[in-house]
Amino acid sequence: MVNSLIRNICSFLAAVIAAYVLGAIFVSQGNIAAIVAMDFDVSVAQRFGAVLHDVTNMTGIYLPVIAVSYLISMPVATFIVKYAPQLRMLLYVLAGATGLVAIHLILKLVLGISGIAPTRTLVGLIAQAIAGGVGGYLFHVISLKRGDNRGTHNLAT
């Protein structure tokens, strides 16, 4: 029981951090793409600098919002997994992706703004969905009990 709780907490934290880091990287590159579209040159060093800046400075706003979205989406996925355990991996990936997309769509609908500029485009929104999906996949992998192969595929059969 305690091991399961610790495993789930660690899975949640790893998933949130992974989704945050990847999401922040996508935000940086989306912003830089807009700058490049205006015919400005952006060096590789400037790209890395922007990524480092965004990853370290968005923690106060974007990280907690991702955590809240995962606090909603992951338990919903866990509930559905009880009825469809063979879809475990897919459900957690979709939960993570849906959680991140929902953040941006809800902000736009409720407040009338897109808090993160790259999510104003479909490509930017899809990039955030990918970040969320990666976090969901990480949650799936880390939260699996040792010896439990639900959601894995046996290619030998």
- Residue 91: the pLDDT is 98
**What pLDDT shows up at residue 152?**
52
Contacts of 103 (CB under 8 A, 6+ apart): 65, 66, 69, 128
Q: What CA–CA distance (Å, rounded) separates 99 from 71? A: 9
What integer pLDDT is reported at residue 112 of this predicted model? 86
Angle between helices 62-83 and 2-37 (to 10 degrees): 130
The pLDDT value recorded for residue 149 is 59
CA angle 2–11–18, rounded 5-degree value: 160
From the number of C-beta atoms within 10 Å of its C-beta (0-12, 13-18, 19+), residue 143 rates as buried
For the stretch 38-47, pLDDT in tens is 999 999 999 9
Q: Which two tokens stand for residue 43?
A: 């060096």
pLDDT band, residue 4 (cuts 50/70/90): confident
Give the mean pLDDT of 45-69: 95
